[in-house]
């Protein structure tokens, strides 16, 4: 099956199946996604009315919005209360932090190719919450570590540091050229003077291909009785203050929910190569 360009925001139709793209703070609207809440509910409702086949929702996150996945799962659980099993399916997220790291590494290499010695990479995304923003600093650190760039800094569109502050920091560190690399689907509203905007992180064709892959994964899982909704409800586990283990706060995660911090093989949540089991959230070296 193949996901096509949306006929309207949030909708992509293919044969007897429908795909709804849901977006959050990473600018998914630029990829044709609808916001969660009423827009998502309306898009899913229209898809259910238009087709007798499964309606698949793809959370359009680049790995820094677990709340989007959980919101989609909650919406589908509610909308599916009057539907037969298999009518609503939650796909794996569009990408994980590992995917984002790999894509940013590629974009950074292209950005500094003309002047590698004097160029700084400024990784940018719309501001979100403190934990989501902190995740971007982690990703940028990995881009620098495994990309061998001299300067990889972070700035947020509408946040702190903002783009102007980020560009100024790059120049104060000694960069003669600042290259803006997007860690989001949408670009910033305004690019500071003298900063090179390298454009979208992924081409439209690449986005469509990833969506197709996620939908195929979701339908494969559905054929084995898994609609993805239950797993999606746990997407925020381990994200934010609620997961802190203070004195006397130890608890067991159970099998498959541990946290690994080595440099071993890590898949992350909803990796494109599904192995039929869950790895949980991992913190290893990104792989391709």
Query: pLDDT value at position 240?
Result: 61
Query: pLDDT value at position 188?
Result: 95
Query: pLDDT value at position 16?
Result: 58
DSSP-derived 3-state class of residue 169? helix
Encoding tokens for residue 282?
Answer: 């991992």
Query: pLDDT value at position 183?
Result: 98
Contact at 8 Å (CB) between 64 and 132? Answer: yes
What CA–CA distances, in Å, run from 143 to 20, 154, 226, 265? 31, 11, 34, 17
What CA–CA distances, in Å, run from 213 to 58, 69, 207, 270, 274? 11, 17, 10, 11, 11
Contact at 8 Å (CB) between 279 and 257? Answer: no
Query: pLDDT value at position 262?
Result: 42
**Separation of alpha carbons 91 and 96, rounded Å:** 13
The domain locations on the chain are 11-95+203-240, 97-197
Q: What is the DSSP letter of 91?
A: P
Region of 104 on the Ramachandran plot (φ > 0 left; ψ -120 to 50 alpha; else beta): alpha
So what CATH class is 97-197?
alpha beta
What stretches in the chain show pLDDT beneath 70? 1-16, 239-288
Nearest residue to 179 via CA among 212, 155, 160, 210: 155
CA of residue 190 relative to chain centroid, distance: 22
How large is the C-alpha radius of gyration of the chain?
Answer: 19
Beta bridge partners of 18: 13, 55
Contact at 8 Å (CB) between 162 and 155? Answer: yes
Encoding tokens for residue 196?
Answer: 């090179």
Region of 268 on the Ramachandran plot (φ > 0 left; ψ -120 to 50 alpha; else beta): left
**Separation of alpha carbons 183 and 139, rounded Å:** 9
């Amino acid at each position: 099956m193949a996901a096509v360009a949306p006929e309207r925001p949030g909708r992509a139709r293919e044969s007897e199946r429908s795909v709804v793209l849901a977006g959050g703070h990473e600018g998914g609207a630029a990829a044709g996604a609808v916001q969660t809440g009423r827009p998502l509910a309306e898009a899913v409702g229209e898809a259910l009315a238009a087709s007798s086949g499964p309606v698949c929702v793809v959370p359009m996150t680049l790995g820094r919005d677990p709340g989007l996945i959980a919101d989609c799962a909650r919406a589908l659980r509610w909308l599916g209360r009057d539907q037969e099993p298999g009518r609503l399916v939650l796909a794996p997220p569009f990408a994980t932090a590992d995917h984002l790291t790999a894509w940013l590494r590629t974009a950074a290499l292209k950005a500094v190719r003309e002047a590698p010695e004097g160029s700084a990479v400024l990784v940018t995304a719309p501001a979100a919450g403190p934990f989501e923003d902190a995740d971007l600093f982690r990703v940028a650190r990995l881009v620098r570590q495994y990309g061998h760039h001299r300067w990889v800094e972070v700035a947020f569109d509408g946040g702190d540091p903002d783009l102007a502050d980020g560009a100024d920091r790059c120049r104060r560190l000694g960069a003669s050229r600042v290259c803006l690399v997007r860690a989001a689907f949408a670009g910033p509203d305004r690019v500071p003077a003298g900063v090179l905007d390298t454009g979208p992180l992924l081409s439209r064709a690449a986005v469509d291909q990833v969506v197709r892959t996620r939908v195929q994964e979701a339908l494969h899982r559905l054929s084995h009785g898994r609609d993805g909704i239950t797993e999606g409800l746990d997407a925020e586990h381990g994200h934010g203050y609620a997961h802190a283990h203070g004195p006397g706060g130890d608890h067991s995660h159970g099998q498959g929910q541990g946290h690994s911090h080595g440099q071993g093989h890590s898949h992350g949540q909803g990796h494109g190569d599904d192995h039929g089991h869950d790895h949980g959230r991992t913190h290893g070296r990104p792989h391709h």
